[in-house]
Amino acid sequence: MAEADGVRRRDFINIAAVSAAGVAGVGIVVPLVSQMSASADVLAASSTEIDISSIQPGQAIKAIFRKQPVFVRNLTPHEIEEANKVDVSSLRDPQTLEQRTKEGKTNWLITMGVCTHLGCVPLGAGEGEPRGEFGGYFCPCHGSTYDTAARIRKGPAPKNLEVPVYEFTKDTVVKIG
């Protein structure tokens, strides 16, 4: 779909701008990507560190991890509540928010920004982007809709947005990979 491709292209341009320039502002942080000139092999094996200190509750950012978009979102108490009140057994890919986040840090939802249907970049991490009827992410390609735990709730995607391997190296820094 031409329009969907357009959306996706803009997303990547946005991500590239964030990674390269570390533009300050609402919903954007400075990913500490240090391997801009690394070879493809090194890049594929590397990790990404992200300073999350400027992401306010309700905001999310897009960064790049192994050449793919990753979303880092600071959930509000209401969004956490929304995620926790869902009957997990009713889900297509049953997982609790707790299982998808780190202990004591359930407000930090870190997922790949890759729709599990056919790989488009869902909307919802960028400022002003639609988040879909479940308040998480919305994939414009074929309408997959994810909730505030980035779990698939509607549309053709078979799985929740993937949670990558990551750790908090400081309270305000996340190392992905």
142, 168, 173, 175: the active-site residue: 142
Side chain identity at 5, as an amino acid letter?
D
The token duo for 25 is 């502002």
Q: Which residue type is seen at 174?
A: V
CA–CA separation, 50 and 21 (whole Å): 14
Phi, psi of 80 (to 5 degrees): -65, -45
- Tell me, yes or no, if 142 is annotated catalytic: yes
Cα separation of 2 and 10, whole Å? 12
Instruction: Determine if 112 is a binding residue for ligand FES (CB under 6 A).
Output: no
Containing 138, the helix (H) or strand (E) segment is strand 135-138
Q: How far apart are CA 176 and CA 112, in angstroms?
A: 10
Per-residue x/- mask for ligand FES, residues 43 to 72, rule CB under 6 A? ------------------------------
Binding mask 126-145 toward ligand FES (x if CB under 6 A, else -) reads: -------------x-xxxx-
In terms of residues, how long is the chain? 177
Stretch that binds ligand FES, among 30-38, 82-90, 105-113, 154-162 (CB under 6 A): 154-162
Asked if residue 120 binds ligand FES (CB under 6 A), the reply is yes
- Does the footprint of ligand FES cover residue 118 (CB under 6 A)? yes
Pick the binder of ligand FES from 30, 84, 156, 168 (CB under 6 A). 156
Which residues are near ligand FES by CB under 6 A? Answer: 115, 117-120, 139, 141-144, 155-157
